[in-house]
Amino acid sequence: MDLLSITDPSFVKKMNVHEMEQLSAEIRKFLIEKLSVTGGHIGPNLGVVELTVALHHCFTSPKDKFLWDVGHQSYVHKILTGRADKFDTLRQYKGLCGFPKMIESEHDVWETGHSSTSLSAAMGMAIARDLKKEDSHIVPVIGDGALTGGMALEALNHIGHEKTNMIVILNDNEMSIAPNVGALHNMLGRMRTGGKYNKLKDELEFLLKRIPAVGGKVASTAERMKDSLKYMFVPGMFFEEFGFTYLGPIDGHSFDDLIKSLEQAKRTEGPVLVHVITKKGKGYKPAESDTVGSWHGIGPYKMETGDIIKSKNEPPAWSALVSETVREIARTDDRIVAITPAMPVGSKLLGFAEEFPDRMFDVGIAEQHAATVAAGLATQGMKPFLAIYSTFLQRAYDQVVHDICRPNLNVFIGIDRSGLVGADGETHQGVFDIAFLRHLPNMVLMMPKDENEGRHMVNTAIHYNDGPIAMRFPRGNGLGVEMDAEMTTIPIGSWEVLREGTDAAILTFGTTIPMALEAASALAKRGIEVKVVNARFIKPLDEEMLDELLDRNIPVLTIEEAVLEGGFGSAVLEYAHESGHHGAVIERMGIPDQFIEHGSVDKLLEEIHLTAEEAIRKITLLVPEKQKKRV
């Protein structure tokens, strides 16, 4: 069928198994073709084609509510709900979002992007349904990786206690981004093979009943022992213990299995968990054979070969630069321990893990746990390196406050993907970390201007022993600058003058430095001399340099690729006020008070006027006498 002609998913309900198999083949082909051009989360989506088709066959969306945990695997759902025609714009500016988006469709009932929220939201919807005496199925789909998120456990605990009608689909493909980790994962592994338990039980009963006279009695005892037998083979029946009816494990690519189990789940009172076994990347060899996690989320690729299309000799990715520098220092400093909450691939920690297998911990999707493990390590004189995306650090805010800053522990937080990340959009922009870290006592927060300064900053952080220190760095590659042979340390709280000027000053750091220098050189052509300062320490400020600037009463423009509210510019305003510079002329540029959607970073910067042109405009207005002289 023509996927582009789909307007709503009701057609799936009338399909037989053969037709659904055909539809699945077409969807797979469509995804492989489209994503070879746009990039995206190809692996997760190829793994849930049959599952998603079966869900739309057995349930009636949006009356029945599908919640896609993390949401990166919702492309098939988007195709079946009339959005196939938008896939050429996937994750692009004003295009199709890569995650569920209520504004796109009534079939997207819950927005995700951050992991492990679906069960809690589903519980909220189920409680509302029951209070309003409505009749619908609430069907969260959660992956084995997302299940390692603490919120999921909190939700299981509540749902099982309330015995709320809900059908949880556990999409188990043994992968998080990288191979999944943890005791939960191991337990699921035993459950996956647990299917043998049922066969073993039948064989045992059959044999026992053949023993003349006593056999029957023994068989019935064995029947009574069934649960303990089950306990022997299916560890703890974890979900049943939580009050769920456990169905599975079933083949997530077999419509017979899927439909039988989903229909049984619909007839079952109380919370049900259907354990569905799928293969990530199913149907596309390069993705299906991926055991590392490279095909979880990917850029454009050559469809025929699976070769990733990448521009040649790029400078190193920031994540690799930071993690490899930590690895280099770790060779002579055995205090260093690296911790990642399920992002070993994105944080480029596989090399560190290979060289120091005892000193790298992937704790699963458990940012709160990761932060407090780091704190615990620091109490014992170790030097933990918490490698974490800015957006996911939001999950561990209280642990940073309560367990790291308050006791003033020597934790080094590498805040990756700081600033706009682009295609992942609203849920992933790393723009809040300055605002939620700057106000924490004892916290040092810095951002390097390029990868050479980044190496010196990592070295500074490792050798800083006066409490928590965080270095934020962007998604993507460095500037390709020359690297110093030797690593040094940078004095904490010291800024750097990049360009002299007497008419105005721009204070900025990291990714917005090139734009500031561009603005300054354009203004110089108009006779306006602008000082550009690398304000590489967001906390503490370089008060000496700031005093010198403010004492000269020259206008100051702060620029940051982070939210304005409570950001670096706010810190400068606060300082000017508190230091008695009440007449200071200070303007700010940064992320406005709104969520920034998906699109290329350049396009997003343009949309929010975080550009050299805007800096020029603001500075020109700030130095009117120079402007008049021009006329």
Ligand X SMILES: Cc1ncc(C[n+]2csc(CCOP(=O)(O)OP(=O)(O)O)c2C)c(N)n1
> 115 vs 508, which CB is nearer to ligand X?
115
DSSP annotation of 405:
I
Q: Which does 146 bind (CB under 5 to 8 A by kind): ligand DXP, Mg ion, ligand X, none?
A: ligand X
Secondary structure class of 416 (helix, strand, coil): strand
Burial of 626 (0-12, 13-18, 19+ CB in 10 A): middle
Work out which of 143, 422, 468, 474 binds ligand X, going by CB under 6 A: 143
Q: How many CB atoms lie within 10 A of CB 37?
A: 14
Annotated binding residue 113: yes
Q: Which stretch binds ligand X (CB under 6 A): 4-12, 170-178, 267-275, 452-460?
A: 170-178
Helix, strand, or coil (residue 511): helix
State the nearest-atom distance from the C-beta of 239 to ligand DXP, in Å.
25
Which residue is catalytic, options 65, 359, 395, 455? 395
Tokens matching residue 234:
């299916």
273 three-class SS:
strand
Judged by beta carbon distances under 5 to 8 A according to partner kind, the member of ligand X, Mg ion, ligand DXP, none in contact with residue 395 is: ligand X
Residue 345 makes contact with ligand X by CB under 6 A: no
- Of 43, 341, 346, 555, the residue at the interface with ligand DXP (CB under 6 A) is 346
Give one DSSP letter per residue of 370-384, joined into a string: HHHHHHHHHHTT-EE
Q: In the annotation, is 525 catalytic?
A: no
Establish whether 122 is an annotated binding residue.
no
69 counts as binding ligand DXP under rule CB under 6 A: no
Tokens of 411: 């934790």
Cβ pair 543, 578 in contact under 8 A: no
Residue 342 C-beta: closest distance to ligand X, Å = 4
- Using the rule CB under 6 A, is 72 a contact of ligand DXP? yes
**DSSP state string for 311-343:** -SSPPPBHHHHHHHHHHHHHTT-TTEEEEESS-
Contact indicator for 141, 169 with CB cutoff of 8 Å: yes
Chain centre to alpha carbon of residue 554: 41
* Among residues 9, 145, 422, 501, the one that binds ligand X under rule CB under 6 A: 145
Nearer to ligand X, 297 or 555 (CB): 297
Cα–Cα distance, 614 to 516 (Å, whole number): 10
The residue written with tokens 């190829």 in the block is: 46
**Residues between 288 and 307 that touch ligand DXP (CB under 6 A):** 296-297
Query: In whole angstroms, how close is the CB of 324 to ligand X at the nearest point?
Result: 22
Q: 114 labelled as ligand-binding?
A: yes
Token pair recorded at residue 610? 């975080």
Give the tokens for residue 263: 């229909």
- Kindly state the tokens that stand for 222: 């064995």
Which of the choices ligand X, Mg ion, ligand DXP, none does residue 44 contact, using the CB cut-off of 5 to 8 A by kind?
Answer: ligand X
Q: Tell me how many degrees the CA angle 573-577-582 measures, rounded to the nearest 5.
A: 110
Q: Say whether 367 counts as a known binding-site residue.
A: yes
Farthest CA pair distance, the chain: 114
Contact assessment for residue 178 and residue 144, using Cβ atoms and an 8 Å cutoff: no
Is there a catalytic annotation at residue 500? no
Tell me: does residue 173 bind ligand X (CB under 6 A): yes
| Distance from C-alpha of 429 to C-alpha of 95, rounded to nearest angstrom | 17
When binding is defined by CB under 6 A, the residue of 23, 70, 262, 434 that contacts ligand DXP is 70
Q: Which of 451, 462, 473 is nearest to 385 (CA)?
A: 462
The one of ligand X, ligand DXP, Mg ion, none whose footprint includes residue 475, by CB under 5 to 8 A per kind, is: ligand DXP
d(CA 435, CA 617): 26
Interaction between residue 367 and ligand DXP (CB under 6 A): no
Our finding on whether 478 is near ligand DXP (CB under 6 A) is: no
Active site residue 417: no
Of 50-58, 192-200, 417-425, 490-498, which part binds ligand DXP (CB under 6 A)? 417-425
Sign, Cα dihedral of 442, 448, 451, 456: negative
The token pair that represents 79 in the structure block: 């195709």
Residues numbered 133-192 forming contacts with Mg ion, rule: CB under 5 A: 143-145, 173, 175
Of 417, 438, 456, 618, the residue at the interface with ligand DXP (CB under 6 A) is 417
Q: Which of 183, 621 has the CB closer to Mg ion?
A: 183
Told to check if 365 binds ligand X by CB under 6 A, we report yes
Per the annotation, where are the binding residues? Answer: 72, 113-115, 144-146, 173, 284, 367
Catalytically annotated residues? 280, 367, 395
Binding site for ligand DXP (CB under 6 A): 70, 72, 177, 296-297, 346, 417, 421, 424, 475
Binding site for Mg ion (CB under 5 A): 143-145, 173, 175
Per the annotation, where are the binding residues for Mg(2+)? Answer: 144, 173
